[in-house]
Amino acid sequence: MIETVNLTKKFGDLTAVDGVTLRIEEGEVFGFLGPNGAGKTTTVRMLCCLISKTSGTASIGGYEVGNGPDSLRIRKLIGFVPDSVGLYDDLSAYDNLDFYGKLYDCTEAQRKENIERFLKLLGLWEKKDVAAGTFSKGMKQKLAVARSLIHDPKVLFMDEPTANLDPESAKTVRDFILELKKEKKTIFLNTHNLDEAQRVCDRIGILSTKLIATGTPQELERALSSGGGTRKTVVLLQEQATDAILAEVRKLPGVGNVTAEGNKLEVALSDPEKQNAVLIEAIIKAGGHIQSATIVGASLEDVYLKLVREGGS
């Protein structure tokens, strides 16, 4: 549905986006992670035909970004939730959506149906006749989300849709994204929120001017762990870890750092899947009684921080 090859944007001598190549399938929720200034918003604005690309190619739904007639087709195909909501403050929530629906040549029946549906899903139906200028930031953001969908686009671009929202409003927007996911809409989500990306995204791309990595959250976590990231087994005992248990564990081959706090024992292992059986046997041999043993790998936060640091070096 979305495809880029060596997509690049320069502002004078500054390269904001450097040779980004990616493919996003129809119905996929793709998360774009990166620090401030990484080029996320610039990438989205190029794909939405709001700014020109310097070089490379990009297409959405088979239409070419940068081609005049195709750009108009792309704009009808997509919805965009920008980082600034840009609503008409003097118009009611309903009239804001109705106005944008007319711009997209939606019929009156389509506008009426979609306005009611989205305002209800986002918890704004009771405020439909209230001027948007009186809304809180969270309410305005939800209204901006509804506006981006008024013409029922196949592709939705969202630039930090939950930034600076209170937890309840952020949850409403996330839940709404999950509803759209069920409808097989293709969603391109710019976010700084790692937990949000992990909850809603099928795949994630990490950008620092260049595209550093892509994959599912699980694939990225496994890649870091297998590449030397932290992997350990956390063992919960029925009693406090004794010196005898610690000594027995430290004798084992492939064991790194061993720490104990009360009845919790953390053991760094080079290959936990293969070594756990030997570890458990050693603990039992030393008189320990095990409640549970869990393998803990690298988190998405570990992956993100490692890759961004390496990409910026």
In order, the DSSP letters of 217-256 are: HHHHHHHHHHTT---EEEEEESSPPPHHHHHHHHTSTTEE
Task: Show pLDDT as tens, one digit a residue, over the chain (313 residues).
Answer: 999 999 999 999 999 999 999 999 999 999 999 888 899 999 999 999 999 999 999 999 999 999 989 998 999 999 999 888 889 999 999 999 999 999 999 999 999 999 999 999 898 999 999 999 999 988 998 999 999 999 999 999 999 888 778 888 888 888 888 888 888 899 999 988 888 888 899 999 999 999 998 998 878 876 665 554 556 788 888 889 899 999 999 988 888 888 888 899 888 877 777 888 999 999 999 999 998 888 776 667 777 777 777 765 5
Counting Cα atoms < 13 Å in the Cβ hemisphere of 95 gives 10
Return the domain boundaries, the chain. 2-223, 231-296
Determine if residue 73 is left, alpha or beta; phi over 0 gives left, psi from -120 to 50 gives alpha, anything else beta.
alpha
Same CATH fold assignment for domains 2-223 and 231-296: no
Superfamily classification of domain 2-223: P-loop containing nucleotide triphosphate hydrolases (3.40.50.300)
**CA dihedral sign of residues 98, 102, 104, 105:** positive
- Rounded Cα distance between 160 and 233, Å, is 35
pLDDT of residue 225: 54
Q: What angle do CA 15, 55, 14 make, to 5 degrees?
A: 10
| Domain 231-296 in this protein, CATH class | alpha beta
pLDDT of residue 226: 53
pLDDT of residue 24: 96
- Residue 267, φ and ψ in degrees, nearest 5: -125, 115
* DSSP state letter for 92: B
- Length of the chain in residues, anyone? 313
